[in-house]
Amino acid sequence: MKIIAYGIRDDERPYVEEWSKEQGIEVKAVKELLTDETVDQAEGFDGAVVYQQKPYTASVLDKLAKFGITNLSLRNVGVDNVDADAVKRNGFKVTNVPAYSPAAIAEFTVTELMRLLRHTPQYANRQAKGDLQWAPDIATELNTLTVGVIATGRIGRAAMQIYRGFGAKIVAYDVFHNPELEKEGIYVDTLDELYKQADVISLHAPATKENFHMLNAEAFGKMKDGVYILNPARGDLIDTDDLIAALDSGKVAGAALDVYEKEVGIFNADFGSFDAIPDERLKNLMKRENVLVSPHIAFYTKTAVRNMVQFALNNNKQLIETGKAENVVSFD
């Protein structure tokens, strides 16, 4: 058995090597992403492990299938960038890693909220200029707030546990209700109800056609004045222009954005200077003291990276051996 792993970063390589040694399976770690230019390197392998924000195009998938490779294991959750028609046409079996570390993302989300509530960016900026005064940035305590959690999957539930540890009240919305949370009576029937009650909105929903720009001008208009927005999930959940307008008006008091709807090709890149960043709306957000922009790093812990690599390799091994795996994704 031989597996090729594309897009392997330096921080992932030790976990690839650890798994390969433990399993006694050859894994070729390739730094480059899976593209039309690199797909030929897969010839002669039994399966491919991949991670990228670029599309898995029909052209690439057709070439993999031509090499006899129809076992594809993603090291991430989302599969919206995989050409579904090519998957079905070629008989691909595709797996993802649905939960590499819910705690990592939940912890980061709440950390960013605390930075917003305690105004730490403002204090840091003033202190850098020698100003050690308290006022005017008096803080708000999380235990006095209601947090509206949108989507109560693994990450949403992990975040809720931390919010509760601070003493916050929780309301939640999800199309699919968790039975245990249902018993607690925390679900509201509509997003409008959540918007009406929440001082903080914590987004943990997937990117779907139905969720595209779910936070837009209409949604912001239904929220409390001075609401805080947290998005560690998917950039397409928020209409960036409408968020900027809501920040300008004061409707939104602050936002923590670990994702951005135009992040591909920008996040995880070094442009050498702030001015060279090729996105004016992103720079608009980054300039604001009440907006925390991070380059999709909520997941980025040792635990999560190890799990992403080794869970994906386990999935690929299972596909090759049995044609089945724990985390097969349906494209029907």
Indicate if 26 belongs to the active site.
Answer: no
Question: Rounded to whole angstroms, how far apart are CA atoms 81 and 58?
Answer: 11
DSSP string, 242-309: HHHHHHHHTSEEEEEES--TT-TTTTT---SSGGG-S-HHHHHHHT-TTEEE-SS-TT-SHHHHHHHH
* Catalytic-residue membership of 234: yes
Among 12, 112, 261, 263, which one carries the catalytic annotation?
263
> What would the 3-class secondary structure string for 121-152 be?
HHHHHHHCCCCCCCCCCCCCCHHHCEEEEECC
CB 265: neighbour CB atoms within 10 A? 11
Say which DSSP state 241 is in.
H
Q: Are 106 and 161 in contact (CB under 8 A)?
A: yes
Structure tokens given for 272: 């050498």
Catalytic residue among 154, 157, 234, 306: 234
Owner of token pair 């602050």: 254
CA angle centred on 46, ends 45 and 52, rounded to 5°: 80
Residue 3's region, left for phi above 0, alpha for psi from -120 to 50, else beta, is beta
Q: What gap in Å lies between CA 86 and CA 59, rounded to an integer?
A: 8
296 is catalytic: yes
Q: Which residue, 201, 181, 183, is CA-closest to 192?
A: 201
Q: Residues with catalytic annotation?
A: 234, 263, 296
